[in-house]
């Protein structure tokens, strides 16, 4: 009964694992596309919520698939989604790391390194745009994005500190403007 | 702090000749030490800054791997598919303790973080309908995008300054970000194209130098 949903998780996430150039962040658009548009497991708003939880959690941000897996098929779904997204890329990395060490001056290695970089950069910025759009970001959210980007680029502010500060400020704003709801 | 790093570096340098030729990793790191290091890293690092923390811990503080070896591994971890923190963990574990070390480092990075995110996810199920929680989460999503932009700018600054490289980066952004084409086919076309361009560009510029001496 649950088997088809578990299989769906594997089919959705294994290709993403093998093509997630640019790290976890760059894969957010495709994960969202699969989960919202292709499989209809979540709405855009639900996805944005899970993304926020993933960003507030330690470890790789790709772990958002654990939350998605849980929504789709319970705890087993979380485990299956996590394995589907980390195992294939890890196997690839394993063989590549061994080859990489042996071929330091190989022109093919240099070309791969150079050729992948611009694709990764394009995907990182695309991911940022798509998350903003799906969260229906207003002026406040856009300002938050800008301030955090400037702070992280120009100061040594810690990531934990940034997350805690943003959460505190948003909570304070909420209490100020929606006192009845709190 | 600098003097502490020097001591650590000296200690690492003193051990290395016993382990093998300079530039190789130490071999006296137990699996337990490896597991402890990556569990800690997995629990204290977030998205964009993971590489810096792993470098500080494994290279600066523990001296398990030298700078050059780490940086070349970092490049592979960044350019290959997969989450960078997991790929880096795998690389370090492989260098220190072979295949078993790679598995231990990766599991150390993923499993505790998996438990934390599941706990937060369950709390969200209980409190997700509360308007305040939704509002705070919007703020966190927005700051996550800020961190992503920072990383994009940092990586983008290191791109070679030429038209083709810029065109590929901007093209991928437009097609995936604005036009919303699915990522997988876009990457499947853009990556081989980009690598071929880089290969011939490298060949044209680097011509008769060291490249061909070590060539295919």
Q: Report the predicted TM-score, pTM, of the whole model to 2 decimal places.
A: 0.68
**Structure tokens that stand for B157 in this block:** 């600054």
**A110: nearest Cα among B52, B84, B205, B164:** B205
Q: Which residue has the tokens 């011939």?
A: B200
Nearest C-alpha in B relative to A54: B117
CA gap B132, B126 in Å, rounded: 13
Nearest C-alpha in A relative to B120: A53
CA dihedral B177, B183, B186, B188 (to 10 degrees): 150
Show the DSSP H helices in B20-162 as ranges: 31-44, 50-54, 67-79, 84-127, 131-157
CA gap A150, A155 in Å, rounded: 8
Asked whether the beta carbons of residue A92 and residue B81 sit closer than 8 angstroms, the reply is: yes
Query: For position A160, what pLDDT does the model report?
Result: 64
**∠B196-A26-A10 over CA atoms, to 5°?**
100
Does residue B10 carry a pLDDT above 60? Answer: no
**Structure tokens that stand for A52 in this block:** 């926020």
Does residue A12 carry a pLDDT above 60? Answer: yes
DSSP calls for B91-131: HHHHHHHHHHHHHHHHHHHHHHHHHHHHHHHHHHHHHTT-H
Query: For position A79, what pLDDT does the model report?
Result: 96
Nearest C-alpha in B relative to A109: B199
What rounded mean pLDDT belongs to chain A? 84
| B135 touches A174 (CB < 8 A) | yes
- Give the rounded percent of residues in chain A with a pLDDT score beyond 70: 93
Other beta carbons within 10 angstroms of residue B6's beta carbon come to 10
**pLDDT band per the 50, 70, 90 thresholds, residue B108:** very high
**pLDDT band per the 50, 70, 90 thresholds, residue A28:** confident
Q: Mean pLDDT over residues B139-154, rounded?
A: 79
| B15 touches B28 (CB < 8 A) | yes
Beta-ladder partners of A59: B46
B-proximal residues of A, 4-63, CB under 8 Å: 15-21, 23-27, 29-30, 33, 48-63
Structure confidence by residue, pLDDT tens digits, B12-57: 443 333 333 444 556 688 999 999 999 988 887 665 556 667 777 7
Query: Which residue of B125, B139, B192 to mutate against A (max A Cβ within 10 Å)?
Result: B139
Residues of B in contact with A117 (CB under 8 A): 79, 155, 158-159, 165
Distances (CA, A) of B150 to A148, A155, B14, B93, B174: 9, 11, 38, 28, 19
Query: For position B17, what pLDDT does the model report?
Result: 35
CA dihedral B185, B191, B196, B200 (to 10 degrees): 150
What rounded mean pLDDT belongs to chain B? 76
- List, in order, residues 6 or more apart from A75 with CB less than 8 Å away: B118
């Amino acid at each position: 009964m649950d088997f088809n949903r578990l299989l769906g998780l594997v089919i959705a996430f294994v290709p993403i694992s093998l093509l997630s150039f640019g790290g976890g962040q760059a894969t957010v658009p495709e994960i969202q596309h699969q989960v919202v548009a292709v499989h209809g497991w979540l709405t855009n708003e639900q996805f944005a919520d899970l993304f926020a939880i993933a960003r507030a959690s330690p470890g790789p941000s790709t772990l958002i698939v654990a939350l998605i897996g849980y929504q789709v098929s319970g705890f087993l779904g979380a485990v299956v989604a996590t394995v589907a997204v980390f195992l294939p890329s890890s196997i690839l990395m394993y063989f590549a790391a061994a080859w990489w060490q042996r071929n330091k001056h190989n022109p093919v290695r240099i070309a791969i390194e150079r050729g992948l970089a611009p694709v990764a950069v394009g995907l990182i910025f695309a991911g940022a745009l798509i998350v903003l759009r799906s969260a229906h970001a207003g002026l406040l959210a856009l300002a938050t994005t800008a301030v955090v980007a400037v702070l992280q680029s120009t100061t040594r502010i810690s990531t934990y500190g940034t997350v805690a500060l943003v959460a505190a400020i948003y909570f304070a704003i909420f209490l100020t403007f929606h006192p009845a709801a709190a | 702090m600098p003097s502490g790093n020097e001591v650590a570096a000296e200690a690492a340098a003193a051990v290395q000749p016993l382990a093998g030729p300079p530039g190789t990793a130490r071999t006296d790191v137990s699996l337990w030490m490896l597991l402890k290091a990556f569990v800690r890293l997995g629990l204290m690092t977030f998205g964009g800054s993971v590489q810096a923390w792993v470098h500080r811990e494994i290279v600066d503080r523990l001296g398990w791997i030298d700078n050059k070896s780490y940086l070349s591994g970092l490049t592979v971890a960044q350019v290959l598919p997969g989450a960078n923190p997991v790929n880096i963990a795998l690389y370090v574990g492989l260098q220190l303790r072979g295949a078993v070390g790679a598995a231990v480092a990766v599991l150390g990075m993923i499993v505790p973080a998996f438990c934390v995110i599941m706990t937060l996810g369950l709390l969200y199920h209980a409190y997700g309908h509360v308007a305040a929680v939704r509002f705070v989460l919007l703020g966190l999503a927005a700051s996550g995008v800020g961190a992503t932009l920072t990383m994009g700018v940092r990586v983008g600054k290191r791109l070679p300054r030429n038209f083709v490289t810029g065109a590929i980066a901007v093209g991928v952004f437009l097609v995936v970000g604005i036009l919303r084409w699915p990522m997988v086919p876009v990457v499947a076309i853009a990556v081989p194209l980009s690598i071929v361009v880089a290969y011939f560009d490298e060949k044209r510029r680097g011509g008769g130098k060291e490249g061909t001496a070590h060539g295919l």
